[in-house]
């Protein structure tokens, strides 16, 4: 992966974001997700890699981007691909806040291939002592440790948590210790990545969300210098079977960030709706404007890219895609 694939990756997420944004607020998660997946798949076909999807869509949602699918031109470096054409499908359906399109690329074997089960996760941004993420610690101790490491009073610390009934006890503990909480309705990839942005995001991300999203978050955090740990959550016998079939020998193991995302990783995300990371798709005269973030672990480079897309060109693409279908 010596070549820098930053711009190629951004073009993929831009295509998915533009397609998803057309369905903003229309109340249909499936249609929006399918549109984003189809656009991402089309864009991936010109990616100069021999890629295999390790984290992707479910077979029921969009099989061409399911785990194990081949993407790219079929030549070039063999690569692992992790993707979410639309992170936050319910956000788009209701016209909400903080939906993004995401892709990560790594060398072959770089990403942990996880089934669609839950994962307990904690994440912090860069500049903190190594090992401060300890998923086995009591949440109150973790909050205090992160606040101390950042030189902040506990009352100034912001903890991002998915707003779910399963987090009732976690929220109560964080409030009891005196930290502030940012509850998000959806999109725990962007929730974890928000820890990378001092002042504008969160100081700590905690809680249970999707395991595939955990791998994508690990990819972005590795590129941005953050820290993360995860642990798979087994809710049923079918979860246990799926984890075993994925080749994960110890489902109770604490997963370090490099267990989930290793090697030379490129991470790209494009905003679909406005959020703390990125602006969503917007309009200007005869253009649609996207804002994207692209990170690379090898160089530690961060780029924010604003692109202006001519409406006429986009309409031609949509027409061609419909004709091809």
Across 233-248, average pLDDT: 93
Measured distance CA(44)–CA(75) in Å, rounded: 13
In the predicted structure, residue 324 carries a pLDDT above the cut 70: no
Domains of the chain as residue ranges with CATH: 6-110+265-324 (3.30.540.10), 118-260 (3.40.190.90)
Residue 232 phi, psi dihedral angles, 5° rounding:
-65, 145
DSSP conformation letters of 151-216? T--GGG-EEEEE--GGGHHHHHHHHHHT-EEEEESS-HHHHHHGGGSTTTS-SEEEEEEEHHHHHH
Across 207-221, average pLDDT: 96
Residue 2 phi, psi dihedral angles, 5° rounding:
-65, -30
Q: How far is CA 100 from CA 62, 90, 114, 157, 263, in A?
A: 18, 12, 21, 25, 24
Cβ proximity of 194 and 276 under 8 Å: yes
pTM of the model: 0.91
Measured distance CA(84)–CA(48) in Å, rounded: 20
The mean pLDDT value of the chain amounts to 91
Measured distance CA(173)–CA(142) in Å, rounded: 11
Res. 316 pLDDT band, cuts 50 70 90: low
Residue 86 phi, psi dihedral angles, 5° rounding:
-140, 105
Measured distance CA(296)–CA(313) in Å, rounded: 30
Measured distance CA(253)–CA(255) in Å, rounded: 6
Q: How far is CA 20 from CA 65, 218, 273, in A?
A: 16, 24, 10
The size of the chain, in residues, is 325
Res. 27 pLDDT band, cuts 50 70 90: confident
Out of 2-11, 81-90, 195-204, the most confident range is 81-90
Pull the structure tokens for residue 148.
């101390």
Cβ proximity of 213 and 206 under 8 Å: no
pLDDT > 90: what percent of the chain? 74
Supply the pLDDT for residue 90: 87
Tell me the torsion sign for CA atoms 219, 240, 142, 157: positive
Res. 287 pLDDT band, cuts 50 70 90: confident
Supply the pLDDT for residue 295: 95
Across 169-195, average pLDDT: 93
pLDDT digits (tens, 9 = 90+) for 113-126: 999 999 999 999 99
pLDDT digits (tens, 9 = 90+) for 123-176: 999 999 999 999 999 999 999 999 999 999 999 999 999 999 999 999 999 999
Supply the pLDDT for residue 232: 97
In the predicted structure, residue 275 carries a pLDDT above the cut 70: yes
Q: Which residues pair with 106 in a beta bridge?
A: 80
């Amino acid at each position: 992966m010596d070549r820098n694939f930053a711009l190629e990756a951004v073009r993929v997420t831009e295509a998915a974001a533009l397609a998803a944004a057309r369905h903003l607020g229309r109340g249909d998660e499936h249609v929006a997700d399918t549109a984003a997946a189809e656009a991402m798949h089309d864009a991936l076909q010109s990616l100069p890699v021999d890629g295999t999807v390790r984290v992707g869509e479910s077979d029921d949602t969009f099989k061409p981007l399911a785990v194990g699918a081949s993407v790219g031109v079929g030549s070039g470096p063999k690569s692992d691909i992790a993707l979410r054409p639309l992170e936050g499908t319910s956000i788009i359906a209701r016209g909400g806040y903080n939906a993004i399109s995401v892709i990560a690329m790594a060398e072959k074997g770089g990403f942990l291939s996880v089934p669609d089960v839950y994962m307990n996760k904690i994440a912090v941004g860069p500049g903190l002592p190594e090992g401060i993420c300890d998923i086995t610690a009591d949440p109150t101790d973790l909050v205090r440790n992160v606040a101390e490491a950042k030189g902040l009073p506990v009352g100034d610390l912001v903890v991002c948590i998915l707003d779910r009934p399963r987090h009732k006890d976690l929220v109560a503990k964080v409030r009891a210790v005196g930290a502030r909480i940012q509850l998000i309705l959806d999109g725990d990839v962007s929730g974890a990545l928000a820890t990378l942005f001092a002042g504008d995001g969160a100081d700590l991300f905690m809680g249970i969300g999707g395991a595939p999203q955990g791998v994508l978050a690990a990819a972005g955090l590795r590129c941005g210098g953050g820290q993360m740990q995860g642990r798979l959550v087994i809710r049923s016998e079918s979860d246990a079977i799926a984890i075993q079939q994925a080749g994960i020998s110890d489902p109770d193991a604490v997963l370090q960030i490099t267990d989930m995302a290793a090697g030379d990783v490129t991470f790209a995300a494009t905003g679909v709706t406005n959020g703390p990371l990125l602006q969503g798709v917007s309009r200007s005269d005869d253009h649609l404007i996207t804002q994207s973030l692209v990170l690379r672990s090898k160089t530690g480079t961060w780029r924010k890219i604003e692109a202006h897309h001519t409406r006429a060109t986009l309409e031609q693409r949509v027409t061609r895609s419909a004709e091809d279908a």
